[in-house]
Amino acid sequence: MLEVKDIDVFYADAQALYGVGLRVEEGEVVTLVGSNGAGKTTTLRAISGLRPISRGDLVFEGSSIAGLPAHGRAELGIALVPEGRELWPSLTVLENLELGCYSKTARKHRDESLERVFDLFPRLQERSKQVAGSMSGGEQQMVAIARALMTRPRLLMFDEPSLGLAPVIVTQVFSIIRRLAKEGLTILLVEQNLKKALEVADRGYVVETGSITLQGPAGELMANEGIRSAYLGI
């Protein structure tokens, strides 16, 4: 479904990605893990069209999307749940969700999509008129996921969905990810919580200082000695 081919990304003169390559097949959950500053967010931003690539290509369902602006990629079904949620804090939950269905096709399916996200997150229906900024961290993460689902994504990318959340909420977030995967959604998951990520993923990639250094089935990565000592502390 998605192929990231040998991409370089810069911030001004500073290179953040060096020939990063990865692929995500339809229906897969793929995780991209690595420590702070490794280039995980940059990779997701490049796929979303929020950051230009200076070399390589991005192929979605057989066609290059490298020339498409971010909203064009969203129309194709590429959605991102960004690091730090990025909600509109003074708008209500419902208004935040409505902003997820700005594209023509998404707008057409608004009611159906709302029903789906309220079924996934009953709490958001109860709180639909509350301003998003006054929700708890966990609830805000749910709003961010729900907003991305309102775009009717084919590929859903998560950037550190568990960041800053209490363990019980982290478990809830991962159970939502698992449920979406079971329903057939294709997922690219960026996480620092490597253990949780590898538990839910089919395959994984490790990124270090802007390059992919290791890849394989989740079970293999979990058993990898280097990973266990570097990321799991065991």
Walk across the sheet containing 203-208 and list its strands.
78-81, 155-159, 186-191, 29-33, 203-208, 211-217
Among 41, 96, 151, 224, binds Mg ion (CB under 5 A): 41
Query: 3-class SS at 141?
Result: helix
Residue 16 partner contact from Mg ion, ligand ATP, none using kind-dependent CB cut-offs of 5 to 8 Å: ligand ATP
Residue 42 touches which member of ligand ATP, Mg ion, none, C-beta under 5-8 Å by kind:
ligand ATP
With CB under 5 to 8 Å by kind, the binding choice for 82 among Mg ion, ligand ATP, none is none
Q: Indicate the residue among 83 and 220 with the shorter CB distance to ligand ATP.
A: 83
Residue in 1, 16, 58, 188 binding ligand ATP, rule: CB under 6 A: 16
3-state secondary structure of 69: coil
**Taking the complex as a whole, how short is the minimal distance between the CB of residue 128 and ligand ATP, in angstroms?**
30
Site mask, ligand ATP, residues 82-111, x = CB under 6 A?
Answer: -x----------------------------
39 contact, one of Mg ion, ligand ATP, none, CB 5-8 Å limit per kind: ligand ATP
Distance CA 198, CA 223 (A): 10
Any contact of residue 13 with ligand ATP (CB under 6 A)? no
Q: How far is CA 147 from CA 26, 121, 130, 234, in A?
A: 22, 11, 15, 37
Do residues 106 and 99 lie in contact, with contact meaning Cβ atoms separated by under 8 Å?
A: no
Nearest to 184 by CA among 25, 1, 27: 27
What is the distance between the alpha carbons of residues 175 and 181, in angstroms, rounded to a whole number? 10
Residue nearest to Mg ion (CB): 41
Q: How far is the CB of 33 from ligand ATP (least distance, A)?
A: 9
Between CA 60 and CA 23 the distance in angstroms is 10
- Give the closest residue to 43 by CA, choosing from 56, 25, 62: 56
From the list ligand ATP, Mg ion, none, partner contacted by residue 36 (C-beta under 5 to 8 A by kind): ligand ATP
The rounded distance, in Å, linking the Cα atoms of 207 and 215 is 9
**Residues in region 33-72 near ligand ATP by CB under 6 A:** 34, 36-42
Q: Could you tell me the smallest distance in angstroms from the CB atom of residue 36 to ligand ATP?
A: 4
- Residue numbers of the site for Mg ion (CB under 5 A)? 40-41, 83
Residues that bind ligand ATP in the complex, under the rule CB under 6 A: 11, 14, 16, 34, 36-42, 83, 192
